A and B are shown apart, each in its own frame.
Chain A
Amino acid sequence: MYRYILKRLILVIPVLLGISVIVFLIMAMLPGDAAQAILGSFATPENLARVRSDLGLDEPLVTRYVIWLGNMLQGDFGRSYTLQRPVLDEVLDRLGPTLLLAGTSLVLASIMGMLAGIIAAMKQFGWQDALFTFIVLIGISTPSFWLGLMFVLLFSLNLGWFPVSGMTAVIGGGGVFDVLRHLALPAVTLAVVATGVIARLTRSTMLEVLRKDFVRSARAKGLPERTVIMKHAYKNALVNIIPVLGIQAGFVIGGAVYIETVFQWPGIGRMLVNAILTRDVLLVQGGVVVVAAIYVLINLTADVFQHFLDPRISV
């Protein structure tokens, strides 16, 4: 077991390296002159040359990568020129809110989705199943950014139940309850699509598993239905659902970009969009690497959990 975790951890390293290479290459391909973008159109040739050499833009690609990587490993992600602060600081500041938002959504979606899927599988052909199909359909067809806007329109602007935007109230805010009030709408909006996907997958996986021979064996032993469903069927279904949960985490993180924009949530998604629009190369690089790394770790956790559940998966 521990050997499995160790091995997976070590295998994560080349993946992270690969990510850093890809990110670096993508950013290096940005058209236009970074020095120009920083200094503006009235820059003198000497200043341009100086900034270029400062940023190391004259060096060959590989050198630049190695320097960037080396710096990153020491905690130096460079300096954001639009925000005039170290990239790492900005990224870490923004990471917390995004993790809060994405994490809450994922947990919400997983619980609601799996619960709904199990119930729908057990009550096939009942009204619950039809309602389920309807909800799932809406869930996976709705543009999350539009839904967020509609929620804001209804619950914040018209009904006033929830705040319109931001993570904390501008005046007198900051407590846990305040954050929760601000978190409610964004988290639910973000969870909608993931819930639909998870629910549908859970239902179909459960149905498949419920037809298996070993479920019949469990019934033939006279075990109570609850044991048959949860201990025998659900556990096997979970093995197939967990990898999808990992992938859904990625979609939730991605979807956070929209939600943060709609709700003005101070997260890393919004930061990245702005950074792209303003060509703040180092900020984009740093942000993407960190988010991708977290995603990789989330999937690693999913893998480990799956291994823990399923003894057939070998080291």
Chain B
Amino acid sequence: MTADTELLLELRGVERTFGGERRFLAPRAPTIHAVNGVDLELRRGDALGVVGESGCGKSTVARMIMGIINPTGGTIVYRGEDLSQLRGAHRRRIYRKIQFVFQDPQSSLNPRKTVREILQAPMRHLLDLTPAQREHKARELMDRVNLREEFLDRHPHEFSGGQAQRIGIARALAVDPEILILDEPVSALDVSIQAQILELLQRLKDELGLTYLFISHDLAVVDYLCERVAVMYLGRVVEQGSVREIFEMPRHPYTHVLLASVPEPGQQRPPRLELSGELPNPSNLPSGCNFAPRCYRATERCRVEEPPLAGYGIDGEHRAACFFADDPQPPVV
């Protein structure tokens, strides 16, 4: 994946705040800065993982790309068009190209519809096909996700979590999109089922030449499926680059801590590190670097100035937002 590969989706300075409205006889509602200036690039054939813990804003970013909510700042550009400015029919056109796989398989499928209706709905509204063509395509989709064709007549509650998620994936593929945004697609599934879905996603990507934006809190899953990754903390991207570089030689202290926190099987070793303190209130962000209050090497400068997301490494593709990124130190025990 070089910088020459076609740039499909670009996020620049994307922001989203919630709240802040004036209230009657009460102080102004707190303004929650969910997303605070995010830059991301998605190139054709990419599998970009976005990781972070709760409150980092990754799901909000996904929903803004999909148009479920609108950014309060910044641009989201797809093939030259700013998505955040599109409405109505224009917006619907984009849904032919960018589709979404939701986290909870059961609540993302309408319990009153049959699988056939669910799969054909996007075809009906976004494509121009005859009923016979739609039926044929629906069967094809079921094959692709390894589900029997007779399931087309069933309702979502008759399926297990893994099967329901396959239906969700099939639905997303119904319009032959270019890009799939996947928001924690395996988090709600049992471990042995997760593997099935991950295998499926990998296969589909290869077979259909898809581009993935994969959001997850699970670093190991991202390690498996993605080539590039962006680490988010409190609404900002703090580190970004290839999966191998980031996970083997992280440059941002938060990434260090995150990696060290993942429990490793087989060795009985209690986690030695400690991430101090608590996640700050998103309506009361610390000044300077967001991570400074909990960082093991924060200095005065960190509390005052916000470090930019700067490039490191050979081609500058590995980016980190830390003043000490060129001399990263793992957390002391």
State in angstroms the CA–CA spacing of A247 and B24 once bound together.
Answer: 25
Please report whether the interface of chain B is mostly helix, strand, loop or mixed according to DSSP: loop
- B:18-61 near A, CB below 8 Å: 24-26
- In the complex formed, the residue of B with least CB distance to A6 is B25
Which residue on B lies nearest to A314, using beta carbons?
Answer: B26
Q: How far is the CA of A6 from the CA of B26 in the complex (A)?
A: 11
Report if A11 contacts B (CB, 8 A).
yes
A-chain residues with CB within 8 Å of residue B26 when the two chains form the complex: 3, 7, 315
Q: Chain B residues near A7 (CB, 8 Å)?
A: 24-26
Distance in angstroms from A285 CB to nearest chain B CB is 29
Which residues from B are CB-within-8-Å of A6? 25
User: Which of chain A's residues have a CB closer than 8 A to the CB of B25?
Assistant: 3, 6-7, 10
B24 contact set on A, CB distance < 8 A: 7, 11
With both chains docked as a complex, state the minimum distance between the C-beta of B24 and any C-beta of chain A, in angstroms: 7
Interface size on B, residues (CB 8 A): 3
Q: What are the residues of chain B within 8 A of A3 when measuring CB–CB?
A: 25-26
CA distance A315 to B26 in the complex (A): 7
A1-34 residues at the B interface, CB under 8 angstroms: 3, 6-7, 10-11
* CA A10 to CA B24, docked complex, whole Å: 10
For B26, the closest partner residue in chain A by CB is A315
A10 contacts which chain B residues (CB < 8 A)?
25
CB distance from A186 to the nearest CB of B (A): 41
> How distant is the Cα of A45 from the Cα of B25 in the complex, in angstroms?
54
* CA–CA, A39 and B218, complex, Å: 84
Distance in angstroms from B171 CB to nearest chain A CB is 33
Report how far A81 CA is from B44 CA in the complex, Å: 85
Provide the bound-state CA to CA distance between A10 and B23, in Å. Answer: 14
**Once the chains are docked, how many angstroms separate the CA of A260 from the CA of B26?**
44
Q: Measured between alpha carbons, how far is A315 from B25 in the docked complex, in Å?
A: 9
Q: How far is the CB of B28 from chain A (nearest CB, A)?
A: 12
Within the complex, what minimum Cβ distance (angstroms) separates B18 from chain A? 15
- Give B282 Cβ to nearest chain A Cβ, in Å: 17
Closest partner residue, chain A, to B29 (CB atom): A314
Smallest distance from the beta carbon of B23 to chain A beta carbons, Å?
A: 8
Q: How far is the CB of B294 from chain A (nearest CB, A)?
A: 28
Q: Which of B194-230 contact A (CB under 8 A)?
A: none
Complex CA–CA separation, A143 to B253 (angstroms):
72
Encode contact with B along A69-90: 1 for CB under 8 Å, 0 otherwise.
Answer: 0000000000000000000000
Q: Give the docked Cα–Cα distance between A7 and B26 (Å).
A: 8
- Minimum CB–CB distance for A188 against chain B, Å: 42
In the complex, the chain A residue whose C-beta lies closest to that of B23 is: A315
Chain B nearest Cβ from A142, distance in angstroms: 37
- Per-residue interface assignment for chain A, residues 193 to 210, with 1 indicating a CB less than 8 Å from any chain B CB and 0 otherwise: 000000000000000000
Distance A11 CA – B125 CA, assembled complex (angstroms): 46
Minimum CB–CB distance from B31 to chain A (whole Å) comes to 16
Query: Residues 153-194 of chain A: 1 if any B CB is under 8 Å from the residue's CB, otherwise 0?
Result: 000000000000000000000000000000000000000000
- In the bound complex, CA of A93 to CA of B25 (Å): 37
Smallest CB–CB gap between A12 and chain B, Å?
12
> What does the 1/0 interface line of A251-281 toward B look like (CB < 8 Å)?
0000000000000000000000000000000
Please, what's the 1-or-0 string for A284-315, where 1 marks a CB less than 8 Å from any CB in chain B?
Answer: 00000000000000000000000000000001
CA distance in complex: A244, B244 (Å): 59
Which chain B residue lies CB-closest to A315? B26
A10 to B26, CA, bound (A): 12
Q: How far is the CB of A15 from chain B (nearest CB, A)?
A: 13
How close is B20's CB to chain A, nearest CB, in angstroms? 15
How far does the alpha carbon of A60 sit from the alpha carbon of B25 in the complex, in Å?
A: 35
**In the bound complex, CA of A3 to CA of B26 (Å):** 9
A100 CA to B25 CA, complexed, in Å: 35
- The minimal Cβ–Cβ distance linking B226 to chain A, given in whole angstroms, is 35
User: In the assembled complex, how far is the CB of residue A277 from the closest CB belonging to chain B, in whole angstroms?
Assistant: 42
CA distance A6 to B24 in the complex (A): 11
A199 CB to nearest chain B CB (Å): 33
The residues of B that contact A11 with a CB separation of less than 8 Å are: 24
| Residue-wise interface mask of B (3-31) relative to A, using a CB-CB cutoff of 8 A (1 in contact, 0 not) | 00000000000000000000011100000
Q: Which of B160-176 contact A (CB under 8 A)?
A: none
Cα distance A11–B26 when bound, in Å? 12
CB distance from A313 to the nearest CB of B (A): 13
Q: How far is the CB of B166 from chain A (nearest CB, A)?
A: 31
B27 to A, closest residue via Cβ: A315
A11 to B24, CA, bound (A): 9
Q: How far is the CA of A51 from the CA of B132 in the complex (A)?
A: 79
Q: Which residue of B lies closest to A8 (CB)?
A: B25
Going nearest first, the 5 A-B pairs with the smallest beta carbon separation are A7-B25, A315-B26, A10-B25, A7-B26, A7-B24
Binding site for B on A (CB under 8 A): 3, 6-7, 10-11, 315
Q: List 9 A-B contacts (CB under 8 A).
A: A3-B25, A3-B26, A6-B25, A7-B24, A7-B25, A7-B26, A10-B25, A11-B24, A315-B26
Given contacts A3-B26, A10-B25, A11-B24, 6 further A-B contacts (CB under 8 A): A3-B25, A6-B25, A7-B24, A7-B25, A7-B26, A315-B26
